[in-house]
Amino acid sequence: MKVYKYRSNYQRDILSLSLNQLFAPTYNNLNDPFEGMFNDKEDKKILELLKRFDTDSLEKAYEELVTMVKKKGIYSLCKTYDNEILWALYSDSHQGFVIEYDLDILLNDFNFNQLTPFVHTVEVKYKDSPQKSMIIIDSFNKRMDLANIIATKSLSWKHENEIRLIFEEPGINTFNFKAVTSIIFGLRASDKDINNVMNLLKGRGLKYYKMTTYTDSYKLKITDLQDQFIHTSEYIQNKAPFDENLLSDENIFAEYQIYKDYLKEIVTYVSSLPNIIKIDSIEIYGEIDKPKINILTTTSLKLLPVRLFQYQYIDKVFVQTN
C-alpha cells in the first residue's frame, strides 16, 4: 500500500528525509485543538457500577491507560497524492512536495517482533461528535481500539483522508530508506528546489514526478521527471560494526564453509538496515544441504533493543524466515 506525506520546508523536511528520519509528535502537538477528545460516558458508567469493588485501583488504571495512549507518537499520512486542498495547506500552496511511502516496507523494520509491535496503523474516523472510547468494555474483551481515542476527528477534516502511524516512542524515528519510493513536486515547485532534492537523495533509486493541471478540469495530474543524478553510486544507509572473527574458520564449522560467501552477503545486508548498531553473533547450523542461520543484533530502539534475523537455505538461496 502506498501512502503520502505532504511537505513544504525544503531545508528541514529534505534534511530529515536524507537522514531517513520522521518525526512523530504526541497528540497535543498536532494542529487540531480537538485531538484526543472522546466520549467517556460509557466508561464512567461502568466505573460507577464497580464502586463496590476496588474502584480506586480501577479508576487509576483507567487514567493511566488514557495517559499512556496520548503519549504515543503520531505520524499522519494521506491515502492520496492529488488532493488540491492538502497541496495548498501543507505543501506551501503547491510549491512543496509529497513523499510517497511503501507502507509495508516502512513498517517492516519497526514491527519485526510480532509480540511487541513498535508501530500501529489506524485509519482516522470522521464523525459529527466525539467517539465513544469504550476502553473498559474493550479491556474485558481483551482488545483495544486506539482509533477511538487517538484517531477520531470532526467531519471538517474528512478531506484529509488520513491514515496514522502510532509509534510507541514519540519523537524522531529512523526508517528504512527503501520505504520512500518517490518524490512528487508541486506544480509551483522551482527547478532549483527540484534539483537540490534530487542531489540530496541521489543513489536511492527514487522516482520523481511533478503535478500539473488539466486544461479543462479542476483535477491535478502527475507527470514524470528525469532523475538528474541517476548514474550516482548506490546509497548505503548504515554500516553496523561486527567482529570479523564471527566469520572466521574457528566460528564456522568446516562442513558449512561452502556457505561462507552467502554468510558475508547476509551480514552485509543486515548491517545496512536502520536502527542496527551492532552484530553480536552469527550461527549456522542444521542439515548441510538445508542449513539455518541466526544473526543476533543490538538495535537503537529502547523498547526493542535486540533483533534476531533467521534464514534458511531453500531452493539454492537463503530466505529470511522471521
Question: Contact, 14 vs 196, CB < 8 A?
Answer: yes
**Rounded Cα–Cα distance for residues 95 and 193 (Å):** 9
**Rounded Cα–Cα distance for residues 189 and 313 (Å):** 48
**Is a pLDDT exceeding 90 seen at residue 112?**
yes
Same-domain pairing of 167 and 303: no
Q: What is the pLDDT of residues 11-70, one digit of tens each?
A: 999 999 999 999 999 988 888 888 777 777 777 777 777 766 665 677 777 777 778 878
> Which of 170, 167, 171, 178 has its CA nearest to residue 201?
178
**Is a pLDDT exceeding 90 seen at residue 99?**
yes
Query: pTM for the whole thing?
Result: 0.89
Q: What is the pLDDT of residues 151-204, one digit of tens each?
A: 888 899 999 999 999 999 899 999 999 999 999 999 999 999 999 999 999 999
Quote the mean pLDDT of the chain: 90
**Rounded Cα–Cα distance for residues 105 and 114 (Å):** 15
Cα angle 6-32-10, degrees, rounded to a multiple of 5: 25
Residue 234 lies in a domain: no
Q: What's the rounded mean pLDDT across residues 260-275?
A: 96
**Rounded Cα–Cα distance for residues 189 and 95 (Å):** 4
What pLDDT is stored for residue 35 in this prediction? 77
Among 162, 193, 225, where does a domain finish?
Answer: 225
Residue 255 lies in a domain: yes
- From the number of C-beta atoms within 10 Å of its C-beta (0-12, 13-18, 19+), residue 12 rates as exposed
Residue 56 lies in a domain: yes
Residue 61 lies in a domain: yes
Amino acid, res. 77: L
In the chain, % of residues over pLDDT 70: 93
Same-domain pairing of 207 and 262: no
> Which of 45, 68, 47, 49 has its CA nearest to residue 59?
47
Residue 294 lies in a domain: yes
Residue 237 lies in a domain: no
Same-domain pairing of 253 and 312: yes
Same-domain pairing of 182 and 261: no
In the chain, the number of structural domains is: 2
**Rounded Cα–Cα distance for residues 11 and 213 (Å):** 26
**Is a pLDDT exceeding 80 seen at residue 291?**
yes
What pLDDT is stored for residue 70 in this prediction? 80
Same-domain pairing of 251 and 196: no
Same-domain pairing of 67 and 152: yes
What pLDDT is stored for residue 140 in this prediction? 62
Among 192, 225, 258, where does a domain finish?
Answer: 225
**Rounded Cα–Cα distance for residues 75 and 165 (Å):** 5
- From the number of C-beta atoms within 10 Å of its C-beta (0-12, 13-18, 19+), residue 321 rates as exposed
Same-domain pairing of 154 and 257: no
Same-domain pairing of 85 and 219: yes
**Rounded Cα–Cα distance for residues 148 and 109 (Å):** 26
Same-domain pairing of 161 and 131: yes
pLDDT interval class at 317 (50, 70, 90): very high
Same-domain pairing of 204 and 250: no
Amino acid, res. 26: T
pLDDT interval class at 311 (50, 70, 90): very high
Among 225, 257, 282, where does a domain finish?
Answer: 225
pLDDT interval class at 295 (50, 70, 90): very high
Q: What's the rounded mean pLDDT across residues 117-143?
A: 79
Same-domain pairing of 279 and 209: no
**Is a pLDDT exceeding 70 seen at residue 137?**
no
Question: Contact, 130 vs 148, CB < 8 A?
Answer: no
> Which of 19, 187, 214 has its CA nearest to residue 92?
187
Residue 231 lies in a domain: no
Which residues have a Cβ under 8 Å from the Cβ of 112 and sit 6 or more positions away? 304, 307, 322
Can you list the positions of beta strands (E) in the chain? 2-7, 21-24, 73-78, 97-102, 119-123, 125-127, 152-154, 162-167, 171-174, 180-185, 207-213, 220-225, 276-285, 292-299, 306-314, 317-320
Q: What is the pLDDT of residues 203-251, one digit of tens each?
A: 999 999 999 999 898 999 999 999 999 999 999 999 999 898 899 888 8
**Rounded Cα–Cα distance for residues 236 and 273 (Å):** 9
End-to-end CA distance of the chain: 21
Domain span at residue 160 reads 2-225
Same-domain pairing of 53 and 191: yes
What pLDDT is stored for residue 29 in this prediction? 87
Residue 239 lies in a domain: no
